[in-house]
Amino acid sequence: MRRFSTVLILAALALTLPLVAAAQDGDIDKVNGTAQVDAGQQAGDVSTVNGAVRVAAGARVHKASTVNGAVELGDKAQATSLGTVNGAISMGRDSRVTGEVDAVNGRIELAEGADVGGKLGNVNGTIVLNAAHVAGGIHTVGGDITIGANSHVEGGILVEKPSGWFNFNSRTPLVVIGPHAVVQGTLEFHREVVLKVSDSAQIGPVKGATVVKF
C-alpha cells in the first residue's frame, strides 16, 4: 500500500502547479484542460490536472499522466508510462507502454495487441485485457480483473487486502481468466475473491482462492 500512498501524495503536489502551462524539451503541461498529442507526433512528458491526456494513433510520448481525468493511448501509440488519479486508462490496438501503467480509482482497459512492459494496476476499478500482454504482473485492491481470451500475463496477479484509506471497500472482486489466456506466476489473493478460470486457460499457482472452472 505504500506505493499507492506515494501516488496520492504526488497527486496532491500536482494540484499546487501554477495555472500557466510550461513546456520544456517537448513536454506538455496543462491545468484545467485536455493535453493532446496529435497522430504521428512526438512529445516528452504530457500531463494535466482536471483534464484528460490524449495521445493519438501512432504518436510517441514519454510519460502521460493526469489528476482527475482519463489517459487515452491511441492505436499503435507508444509511451514509457501511464498514470492517473481518479480517471480511466485505455490503450488502443497494438499500442505499447514500456514501463508501468497505474490508476487510482479508475478503469484500465487494453485493446487487442496492446503491450505493457512493466506492472499494471489500480486501487479500485475494473481491469480488462482483450488479447493483450502485460509483462510485469497485475495488481489491485478492490477492482474486478478480466484476462480476456488469448491474453498473456507474466508476473502473476495480486489482489491486496484493503487497509487505511481503502478499508471501506468490502465488495468481493471478480477475477476471470478467459479462454486460451495464459497467466504465468502466482495468482495471490489477500482477500476473498471469486476466481473463474476457463478450461482452456493456463495459470500458475493459486494462493488464497479456490478456482471455479468454466
What is the per-residue pLDDT across 115-136, written as a single tens digit (0 to 9) for each?
Answer: 999 999 999 999 999 999 999 9
Arithmetic mean of pLDDT over the chain: 89
Looking at the DSSP bridge assignments, the partners of residue 196 are 176, 212
The CA distance from 45 to 35, in Å, is 10
Q: Which amino acid, one-letter code, is at 109?
A: E
What is the per-residue pLDDT across 191-205, written as a single tens digit (0 to 9) for each?
Answer: 999 999 999 999 999
For the chain, the first-to-last Cα distance in angstroms comes to 32
pLDDT at 12 over 90: no
- pLDDT reported for residue 170: 73
Query: In the numeric block, which cell numbers belong to residue 150?
Result: 488469448
Region 10-23: what's the mean pLDDT?
39
Q: What is the DSSP letter of 8?
A: H
Query: In the numeric block, which cell numbers belong to residue 110?
Result: 487494453
Q: How many percent of the chain have pLDDT more than 90? A: 84
**Contact between residue 66 and residue 53 where contact means Cβ atoms under 8 Å apart:** yes
Looking at the DSSP bridge assignments, the partners of residue 72 are 54, 90
- pLDDT reported for residue 133: 98
What is the per-residue pLDDT across 32-80, written as a single tens digit (0 to 9) for each?
Answer: 999 999 999 999 999 999 999 999 999 999 999 999 999 999 999 999 9
Helix (H, G, I), strand (E, B) or coil at 83: strand
